[in-house]
């Protein structure tokens, strides 16, 4: 499969998967498209960085950072809480297959492999958390800068 075809497939399935999860958790209908775009942008950031060779941790941090920024943007645009866009958007980034492999290896009795997979899960989850933390930090900094500019004028 060519890189362009793979890009189209990754884009489509990340969008569809995000919207499907948003429907499952009863996100309002007017926010579904924005949820899909958030999840798609976060996943494409992760996927492109991972393809370039930046590593899973860096790709997850930057993917969740982009996802958080998009969530804040759509929250302001749609006048809805940002968490409505962030929770469904995080679904493509969550390491579900790795979690399955960790449990599978634990059941088989391969404790060493299970620990390796569990550490990967913790690193990815930590990367996602750091990305959202950076988004929150950047949002606070931008708010303080805007408030400071308003007091100067």
Q: Supply the DSSP string of 7-70, one letter for each residue.
A: HHHHHHHHHHHHHHHHHHTT--GGGHHHHHHHHHHHHHHHHHHHHHT--HHHHHHHHHHHHHHH
Residue 62's CB: how many other CB atoms inside 10 A?
20
Which pLDDT score, from 0 to 100, does residue 1 have?
Answer: 79
What pTM did the predictor assign? Answer: 0.88
Would you place residue 23 in the very low, low, confident or very high pLDDT band (cuts 50, 70, 90)? Answer: very high
Per-residue confidence (pLDDT) for residue 151, from 0 to 100: 85
Average pLDDT score, the chain: 94
Q: What is the pLDDT of residue 119?
A: 96
Split at pLDDT 50, 70, 90, the class of 148 is confident
| Residue-wise pLDDT tens digits, 115-131 | 999 999 999 999 999 99
Note the pLDDT of residue 47.
95
For 121, counting Cβ atoms within 10 Å of its Cβ (0-12 exposed, 13-18 middle, 19+ buried), the class is middle
pLDDT at residue 113 tops 90: yes
The domain limits of the chain are 3-152
Confidence of residue 102 (pLDDT cuts 50, 70, 90): very high
Instruction: Determine whether 22 is exposed, middle or buried from the number of CB atoms within 10 Å of its CB (0-12, 13-18, 19+).
Output: buried
Q: Do the beta carbons of residue 48 and residue 34 sit within 8 Å?
A: no
Q: How far apart are the first and last CA of the chain?
A: 57
């Amino acid at each position: 499969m060519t890189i362009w075809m793979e890009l189209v497939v990754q884009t489509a399935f990340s969008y569809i998967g995000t919207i499907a999860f948003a429907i499952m958790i009863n996100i309002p209908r007017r926010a579904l498209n924005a949820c899909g775009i958030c999840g798609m942008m976060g996943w494409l950031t992760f996927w492109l960085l991972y393809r370039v060779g930046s590593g899973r941790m860096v790709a997850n941090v930057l993917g969740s950072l982009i996802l958080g920024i998009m969530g804040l943007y759509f929250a302001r645009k749609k006048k809805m809480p940002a968490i409505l866009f962030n929770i469904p958007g995080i679904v493509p980034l969550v390491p579900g297959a790795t979690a399955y492999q960790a449990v599978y290896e634990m059941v088989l009795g391969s404790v060493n492999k299970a620990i390796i997979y569990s550490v990967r899960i913790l690193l990815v989850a930590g990367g996602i958390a750091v990305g959202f933390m950076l988004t929150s930090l950047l949002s606070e900094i931008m708010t303080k800068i805007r408030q400071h500019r308003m007091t100067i004028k």
